[in-house]
Amino acid sequence: MDARASQQYLLIVKYNFDLVLLSPQWHAIEEEEVIRSLESSLKGLTAEEAKQRLTEFGYNELKKYKKASLLQIFLDQFKNFFVLMLIGAIMISVIIGFYESQAAADPRLVLETYTDALAIGAIVALNAVIGFVQEYRSEKAMEAMEKL
């Protein structure tokens, strides 16, 4: 692959950093390079090559996965390392707030001591709801594609 073709790769990162994939931008690569990369020809694969690739890679089908329940989709939003760090920060903030409220003589200061925990909790909850909606819509889109 020449230097120009090697620059035609796209880095795809899933929002929670679980997936990093390098994928060629086929539209930006010269025809000869694409054919060479795919080990093919302008006439396509021979019957023997097609049979060998079918044996090696299988049919061009989407894999069937067990459908996740709505609860599982929601709970999956909390598996991200950064979300777990925020949940830890909530717990630390609650513990600190508890001891500060015990020391405070004024009961009005109790809510003030838990403000950080409430703010972080609201952010985590909002993130979970947005992630759930996006993943639910993705599941529905995949189901629609499977019906085609």
Percent of the chain topping pLDDT 90: 36
Q: Residue 79 to residues 86, 107, 122, 140: CA-CA distances in angstroms?
A: 11, 36, 17, 22
Q: What is the mean pLDDT of residues 16-40?
A: 74
Q: Are residues 47 and 101 in the same domain?
A: no
Q: Are residues 21 and 77 in the same domain?
A: no
Give which of 96, 91, 122, 97 is closest to 110, Cα–Cα. Answer: 97
Q: What is the mean pLDDT of residues 100-106?
A: 74
Write down which residue in 57, 82, 97 finishes a domain.
57
Query: Which of the four pLDDT bands, split at 50, 70 and 90, describes residue 71?
Result: very high
- Residue 114 structural domain: 70-147
Q: Tokens 């889109």, residue?
A: 141
Q: Are residues 143 and 76 in the same domain?
A: yes
Q: Which residues contact 100 (CB under 8 A, 6 or more apart)?
A: 109, 113
The model carries a pTM of 0.57
Q: Are residues 21 and 90 in the same domain?
A: no
Q: Is residue 46 part of a domain?
A: yes
Q: Are residues 138 and 97 in the same domain?
A: yes
